[in-house]
Amino acid sequence: MSRRLSHSRDPRTTKEHNGRHSLTQESLADGHRLTRRAVLAALGAMGVVAAGGLVATPGTAQGQVFGQNESVEEAMKRLFGGKTIKDGSAAIKLDVPFIAENGAVVPISVTVDSPMTPTSWVKHIYVVADKNRIPVVTRATLTPEAGRAYMGASIRLGETGDVRAIAEQSDGTLLQVKREVKVTVGGCGG
Amino acid sequence: MADIGKVRVRVPSSIKPGDVVEVRSLVIHPMERIERDPQGKIIQKNYNYINKVVVTYLGKTIATFDTTQSVAENPFFSFTFKATDPGQLKIQFLDTTGGRYEGTADIKFS
């Protein structure tokens, strides 16, 4: 059997070999065409990627305009410029746990003492986590219709550090309170 | 993942006209964190996270939240509003991929 097989195989292989030879020549020619095409395609793809990148980057930037990867000093400068921030411990109640066992979910709530009338209300409440890579956590924009200057949210804390709540009143006054929160397990992967 | 965008809104069971009502809302969303390559460089891509929450009551915006990636996964937000008339309270969550998730609560006086 094996002999037969080998016999029968031999001519086939030679044939195949011949066939292959001609094929390789063709494929070589094909290969040339393909590489050119491939190069063109790659260039095209690169173009697309570059364009996509161009389109995507402002998108990301826009998304990130508010919360950038920066230090807290830069963030404060960017948000409030050189404006003085007064101590607001009398007016602002920052409710956040002293020890956050899981930094991935930390409940926080901020209440600001304000009449919330159309002449005097709290325009914004900022929550800033000093040690987070993206320090600006959220900005709540309120209207007098809210009835009370209050906001609550669940935030992430990367590590132990101060958490600030800053209230911007309708007349532009800035009030701030901050408190240290101990974080057992950090919640910011980035 | 099919749960993304599921919004839950909770309002107190009994509301009287003129009350300042606290509303609690929750949305199921991954809130992607920043990723880094092995060199520690931030990977630039369009992260999928909620960057805006808009609360409207009787067609009027009463509060908005601009949020960043420092907000927890499946974020929870609470706020108050002054219940003046019966009507619809709507909360919209907008994410960076163009997703828009809505939750509503009918405000009725009892």
Judge if A78 and A133 occupy the same domain: yes
- % of chain A surpassing 90 pLDDT: 45
Q: Specify if A190 maps to a domain.
A: no
pLDDT tens, N- to C-terminus, chain B (110 residues): 567 888 999 999 899 998 899 999 999 999 988 888 888 888 888 889 999 999 999 999 999 999 999 999 999 999 999 999 999 999 999 999 999 999 999 998 87
- Count of CB atoms situated within 10 Å of the CB of A84: 7
Which tens digits make up the pLDDT trace of A47-88?
444 444 333 333 344 445 676 778 888 889 888 888 899 999
Return d(Cα B51, Cα B68) in angstroms, integer. 6
Which chain B residues contact residue A138 at CB under 8 A?
65-68, 70-71
Return d(Cα A59, Cα A65) in angstroms, integer. 10
Judge if A171 and A87 occupy the same domain: yes
Measured between CA atoms, how close is B41 to chain A, in angstroms?
Answer: 10
Judge if A89 and A12 occupy the same domain: no
Last residue of a domain, which of A18, A42, A65?
A65
Contact present, B70 and A136 (Cβ < 8 Å): yes
> pTM for the complete prediction?
0.74
Which tens digits make up the pLDDT trace of A79-107?
888 889 999 999 999 999 999 989 999 99
Of A137, A142, A147, the CB nearest to B71: A137
- Check CB contact under 8 Å for B75 and A153: yes
CA A150, A156, A161, A166 torsion-angle sign: negative
Judge if A95 and A140 occupy the same domain: yes
Return d(Cα A166, Cα A174) in angstroms, integer. 7
Question: Among residues A170, A189, A154, A176, which one has the least CA distance to residue A85?
Answer: A176
What is the domain extent for residue A118? 72-185
Q: Specify if A54 maps to a domain.
A: yes
Judge if A159 and A76 occupy the same domain: yes
Return d(Cα B1, Cα A171) in angstroms, integer. 44
Count of domains in chain A? 2
Q: Specify if A173 maps to a domain.
A: yes
Last residue of a domain, which of A41, A65, A89?
A65
A135: amino acid identity, one letter: P
Looking at this predicted complex, what is its ipTM? 0.88
Of B21, B35, B71, the CB nearest to A153: B71
Architecture of the CATH domain B7-32+47-107: Sandwich (2.60)
Q: Is the pLDDT higher at A56 or at A44? A: A44
The residues that bridge with B23 in the sheet, in sequence order, are B79
Judge if A82 and A112 occupy the same domain: yes
Judge if A35 and A129 occupy the same domain: no
